[in-house]
Chain A
């Protein structure tokens, strides 16, 4: 199929081949069957030729086909390549298209939604439109109604204008009548003048009459006066008579007077007495008060006395219990003082004794020291004595020795003397002897001296011993004394001391308590002092009489009093008004409800003044209004006459101009004042007919006065032409 599709040539060729090849076998069979060799040969040759030719041809064709095939392949490749390319492109395109499609689908959806929405809105709008149409129709109906009413109004306006015209005419007629009436008036005034003159004459006559009447009345008064005088005189006469009778009574009166004077004097005295008595009474009363007070005090005192008696009893009991002569606190204090004094004395004694003991001890110690010294001295002396004794013994021994020696020597010497010639050796020996004797004498003297010294020392030691003994005795005596003193002290005063000690402790405790109290009281006092308290015994508090506080208080008092008075006054006033004003209320409520209050309270001068001022100002206002109205009317008429236009203000910022020469009553021009002050012509029925002039004067020349003048001229010319 592909081949056929690709090339038509192949198709024809094959069909040809097939065409050729198909009838081949039967031919061959027929030829073989029928057969001739020649023919067969020829046929074979031709067939071979044909085959060769066909082979060549097919070769060619093959080559050609090969080439073609190559070309075809190439082109096929190319085409495939291109196709691939195209395929990829188309794939890409396809993708894009798919995307787009999706987008578009989305868009379509959105659009569908929108469409739905729009359809909804459309339907709504359609409904709204319908409603609006209905409204419009209603409005148009209303408008038409309005138009109709406007037209009716216009008609009424025109009718009214006609009426105004008629009224004007009537006014003119009335003016005429007024002028005639003024004429009549003048005539009447003249008549009035005449009447006045007549009246003056009459009044003069009246005056004369009055003067006559007044003189008459004066006369009458005089007469009356005279009559009164007469009556007075008659009274005088009566009085004189009475006086006479009284004068007759005068001496009696004098007597009485004297008596009365005496009485008076007596009464005066008695009054003085009475005043004295009063004073006395006062004094007595005071005394009584004092007495009462003293009585009260007495009672108090008695109570106190009883209390004190009880206390005293307690004290006495205490005194009895204690055994001391305590009857009163004074006694106690005296006793305490005595005890204290005794204690003090005892203390003093004690002190003196202790001091004495101390001195004695001191002296004892001194003496002991001395004793020791003395003992040591004695020992020394003894030692000395012993040494001296030893020395004496030695010396005695030596003396013995020496005497023995001397004796020996003397014997030797005597032997020598006997043996030898004394002449040779004797001087020498005698010398020696003498020397020895001297020495002996010296030693003997020394001995004696020593012995003397010894005795002296012994004497001394004896004296010292004596002293020592005396001192010891003294010491003992002192010790004894001391012991006795201590014993006596302890025996006598121990109890007293203990009681006194207790008392002292109590007193000390009390003292501490009192000190505390004192400090508390001092603190309190300080606090009170801070708060401004003072001791009335020592201090007085003064202040200036006219100090600001009292002045302010007085002022306040006065103010309060004045206010109170005012309140009372007002209350009374109110009461009187409530009583009397009820009738006035009843009368005035119907006619003047506002003035009832004014009537009830007499208006003060200020209120009256203010009312007057108000009235005058109101009057002035009224007058001003009238004047303004008149002036405005005048101004309007002048404008109407001069410009030929009547200007009316229909509504705010709208002015209607009606010409004098208007053909119809409702021919008018309507101007509106813009925000910038410029005037704009509004369309009316009349202005529609003035298209030309509007175009010329307003649009072209832009001048309203020119337009108005042109309109005036036009209307005027139309009227005159008619």
Chain B
């Protein structure tokens, strides 16, 4: 963490947001049962205990994605990060966890740190993750085997790096949306929301 107590820089903000995504994705995967709970281990972050995967392949994938994401956050070219949960049997998109990222592009020019303490940012992040954890109460149960994918909405002029490719938006047909809390580092603002497929029974 490069930012000091004085304030927060673009780089520090990018790292904070990327870290939030890493933990947020892990906790969604744990909460939604995409990976078996025994493959998760408990760690303490943001003054709360969180679940972190121990699955080597998943870890690799997440580090790849998050490091790339950090770069883009630093360049302020990322608009959204979406975690898509797909049913493997029917190839149907069941859930979309969308994190809208609003970048303050003026921070790229002026390197002056913003005045917001990491403590307050982390408090905001904690409340977001708490809310993610609480969503299990109203989201429909994932009954079939599911897998997830991470989509990144970026600016059009961005050069697609190696090992990345373009994808569709994976929109859910007949979805219900719930807005969650947001947090801001004063450079990046992250609005979170979840959309899920309407079930007929409910």
Contact = CB atoms under 8 A, between A and B. Distances in A.
Contacts of A545: 163-165
B149 A543 contact: yes
B64 A544 contact: yes
Interface stretch (A15-23, A38-46, A106-114, A527-535): A527-535
Interface in B77-120: 79-80, 82, 84, 86, 88, 91, 96, 98, 100
B61 interface: yes
Contacts of A249: none
Given A530-B177, A549-B147, A552-B147, A544 B171 contact: no
Interface string A535-555: 011111111111111111100
Q: How large is the interface on B (under 10, 10 to 19, 20 to 34, 35 or more residues)?
A: 35 or more
A532 B167 contact: no
Given A533-B171, A549-B84, A539 B154 contact: yes
Interface string B140-175: 000000011111111110101001111111111001
B164 A540 contact: no
Given A532-B171, A539-B79, A548 B158 contact: no
A161 interface: no
Contact of A543 (B91, B167, B177): B167
B156 A538 contact: yes
B155 A531 contact: no
Nearest to B35: A548
A552 B87 CA distance: 11
A538 B150 contact: no
Contacts of B136: none
B121 interface: no
A531 B171 contact: yes
B78 to A, nearest CB: 9
B28 interface: no
B50 interface: no
B139 interface: no
B187 interface: no
Nearest to B65: A544
B152 A541 contact: yes
A556 interface: yes
A543 B79 CA distance: 13
Given A531-B172, A532-B170, A542 B152 contact: yes
Nearest to B55: A548
B150 A544 contact: yes
Given A544-B61, A545-B165, A549-B86, A532 B96 contact: yes
Contact of B168 (A541, A547, A551): A541
Interface in A498-541: 527, 529-534, 536-541
A263 B138 CA distance: 78
Nearest to A548: B147
Contacts of B153: 534, 539-542
A538 B82 CA distance: 17
B195 interface: yes
B58 interface: yes
A462 B1 CA distance: 94
Contacts of A541: 151-154, 166-169
A205 B154 CA distance: 96
A537 B179 CA distance: 26
Contacts of B164: 542-545
Nearest to A527: B177
B158 A540 contact: yes
A542 B167 contact: yes
Contacts of A546: 61, 163
A540 B163 contact: no
Contacts of B165: 542-543, 545
B61 A542 contact: no
A459 B114 CA distance: 81
A542 B154 contact: yes
Nearest to A538: B156
B156 A543 contact: no
Contacts of A530: 98, 177, 179, 193, 195
Contacts of A529: 100
Nearest to A544: B65
Nearest to A556: B88
Given A534-B169, A543-B164, A549 B151 contact: no
Interface string A543-576: 1111111111100100000000000000000000
A461 B110 CA distance: 77
B67 to A, nearest CB: 11
29 contacts: A530-B98, A531-B96, A531-B177, A531-B195, A532-B80, A532-B170, A532-B172, A534-B153, A539-B154, A540-B153, A540-B156, A540-B158, A540-B160, A541-B167, A542-B151, A543-B150, A543-B151, A544-B65, A544-B150, A545-B164, A547-B149, A548-B148, A549-B84, A549-B86, A549-B148, A551-B57, A552-B88, A553-B88, A553-B147
Interface of A: 527, 529-534, 536-553, 556
10 nearest A-B pairs in the assembled complex, by CB-CB distance: A549-B149, A552-B147, A549-B147, A530-B177, A543-B167, A547-B149, A542-B152, A532-B169, A543-B151, A542-B164
Given A538-B155, A544-B64, 18 more contacts: A530-B195, A531-B172, A532-B170, A532-B195, A534-B80, A537-B156, A539-B79, A539-B154, A540-B158, A541-B167, A542-B151, A542-B154, A542-B166, A543-B152, A546-B61, A547-B61, A549-B88, A552-B147
